[in-house]
Chains A and B, each alone.
Chain A
Amino acid sequence: MSGFLEGLRCSECIDWGEKRNTIASIAAGVLFFTGWWIIIDAAVIYPTMEEFNHSYHACGVIATIAFLMINAVSNGQVRGDSYSEGCLGQTAFLSASHSARIWLFIGFMLAFGSLIASMWILFGGYVAKEKAIVYPGIAVFFQNAFIFFGGLVFKFGRTEDLWQ
């Protein structure tokens, strides 16, 4: 899907040349780790279960797993570029590209799911209950939003042409 961004060519902005991958990696790192430090901040300020139910951490953990899953497969594997073996052997049930697509599908589902869950936590657990302290809910939402967008930037902001 790195070809997808070529369609939106604004002549100066997307084609940063050789630095594109570096800038995308750094931007993704800033987003991802800022997300985690936001939740660390909320957990340190509100350590009790009433203010910040500790099970809300699961959202960010699933988002991180989704980030790792999405970025573990390269676009080349999803396209089916190389004739590498699938996870069950070359002539078996699933080819490598099929396995990569299923892996990516599950990864994106987990990513979207954790983003939606964070919104649910904010609105269902904090806004609807009209709690006095809303900051932990906002922190969970922003953590997952940052991790999600960090994952997107890391996946689609880099081009694999520079790896040849």
Chain B
Amino acid sequence: MWLALVALSFSGAIGLTFLMLGCALEDYGVYWPLFVLIFHAISPIPHFIAKRATYDSDATSSACRELAYFFTTGIVVSAFGFPVILARVSVIKWGACGLVLAGNAVIFLTIQGFFLVFGRGDDFSWEQW
């Protein structure tokens, strides 16, 4: 459990490093890509809303859960689309865009890793928080 926590925080740091490099390197110096952090922050929210809403149901799946997957995918797509659009209108350079996209990928994998490692308890109870 400790190893997973440390590994996840390391990959989170790497992801944020890529994002900051994409903004702060001398060649780039534009900080608009930091807005993708908003997408990172809201990406787990649909999952938690669906988990709360269908807490006492033991069905394999439900419309609420699938809607949550739909919106989470939308948020992930938006986090990748936003830097690409910034680069296409030359607000940021393509090199910065590449770094931001790499940072996105690593951060989303980290978030997914958190859910895989810490969310799979057999009786998921809110006392874990």
B70 touching A28 by the CB < 8 A rule? Answer: yes
B70 touching A29 by the CB < 8 A rule? Answer: yes
B59 touching A162 by the CB < 8 A rule? Answer: yes
B73 touching A33 by the CB < 8 A rule? Answer: yes
The interface residues of chain A, by DSSP majority, are classed as helix
Nearest B residue to A159, CB-CB: B61
- Report the separation of the CA atoms of residues A34 and B89 in the bound assembly, to the nearest whole angstrom: 18
The interface size bin for chain A is: 20 to 34
B77 touching A33 by the CB < 8 A rule? Answer: yes
- Report the separation of the CA atoms of residues A137 and B77 in the bound assembly, to the nearest whole angstrom: 22
Central interface residue in A24, A162, A164, by most chain B CB within 10 Å:
A162
Residues on the A chain within 8 Å of B62, using CB? 163
A162 touching B77 by the CB < 8 A rule? Answer: no
A25 touching B59 by the CB < 8 A rule? Answer: no
Nearest A residue to B86, CB-CB: A44
The interface size bin for chain B is: 20 to 34
Residues on the B chain within 8 Å of A32, using CB? 70, 74
Nearest A residue to B91, CB-CB: A44
Residues on the A chain within 8 Å of B59, using CB? 162-164
B70 touching A40 by the CB < 8 A rule? Answer: no
Contact A22/B60 with A33-B77, A44-B89, A45-B89 known, Cβ cut-off 8 Å: no
A33 touching B63 by the CB < 8 A rule? Answer: no
Q: Out of B63, B72, B84, which one reaches A29, CB within 8 Å? A: B72
Residues on the B chain within 8 Å of A120, using CB? none
Is A84's beta carbon under 8 Å from chain B? no
A29 touching B77 by the CB < 8 A rule? Answer: yes
Contact A22/B81 with A28-B70, A32-B74 known, Cβ cut-off 8 Å: no
Residues of A6-42 at the interface with B, using a CB-CB cut-off of 8 Å, are 18, 21-22, 24-26, 28-30, 32-34, 37, 40-41
B77 touching A163 by the CB < 8 A rule? Answer: no
A22 touching B63 by the CB < 8 A rule? Answer: no
- Report the separation of the CA atoms of residues A161 and B62 in the bound assembly, to the nearest whole angstrom: 10
Residues on the A chain within 8 Å of B42, using CB? none
Is A101's beta carbon under 8 Å from chain B? no
Central interface residue in B62, B63, B89, by most chain A CB within 10 Å:
B63
Which 9 pairs, one residue from A and one from B, show the smallest C-beta to C-beta distance?
A29-B73, A37-B81, A25-B69, A33-B74, A33-B77, A25-B66, A162-B61, A29-B70, A162-B60
Q: Can you spell out 15 A-B residue pairs with CB atoms less than 8 angstroms apart? A: A22-B61, A25-B69, A26-B70, A29-B71, A29-B72, A29-B74, A32-B74, A34-B81, A41-B84, A44-B88, A45-B89, A162-B60, A162-B61, A163-B59, A163-B61
List residues of chain B with CB under 8 Å of any chain A CB: 59-63, 66-67, 69-74, 77-78, 81, 84-85, 88-89
